Amino acid sequence: MASKIEISLAAVLMAAAANMAVGAVWYSPRLLGKRWLAAMGWSPKELARRRQQGLSKAYGGTFLVSLVLAYFLAHVVKFMGASTLLDGAHVGFWVWLGFVATTSLGAYLFEGRPLALYLINAGGQLAGLLVMGGLLAVV
């Protein structure tokens, strides 16, 4: 077995927070939020209704998932020896391609949702993994 990999919990927290920030920008109305709403078949009123019902569970759950993802990605980044921003982003890309793009595509094919929704969601996950991988390599 390989030697123990040291993981910085501060770096994991930073990467998880960065992933949330990337998502906030990605799904903002100025970037892809309006297209995402349309692909979901939701109106702005429907989104407002769902917000009133409470999205705190969704945000809390998403942050927890981001922490787990960042911790896993930190191991992969360290194992791969990535030490530059570009190297870390490269690892993030391959993790996205191997685990996210593939499993998300399978779900898309069976759910019959619009291709635009898959592309928006998978693109957001790619952006997040690129940023997290880069951060984890240099922090």
DSSP string across 52-69 = HHH-HHHHHHHHHHHHHH
CA distance 36 to 93: 22
Give me the mean pLDDT over the 98-125 stretch: 95
pLDDT surpasses 80 at 129? yes
Specify the pLDDT at position 2. Answer: 57
* pTM for the full predicted model: 0.93
DSSP letters along 39-50, please?
Answer: HHT--HHHHHHH
Between CA 34 and CA 42 the distance in angstroms is 10
Mean pLDDT for 19-46 is 96
Q: Give me the pLDDT at residue 3, please.
A: 66
Long-range contacts of residues 50-57, Cβ cutoff 8 Å, at least 24 apart: none
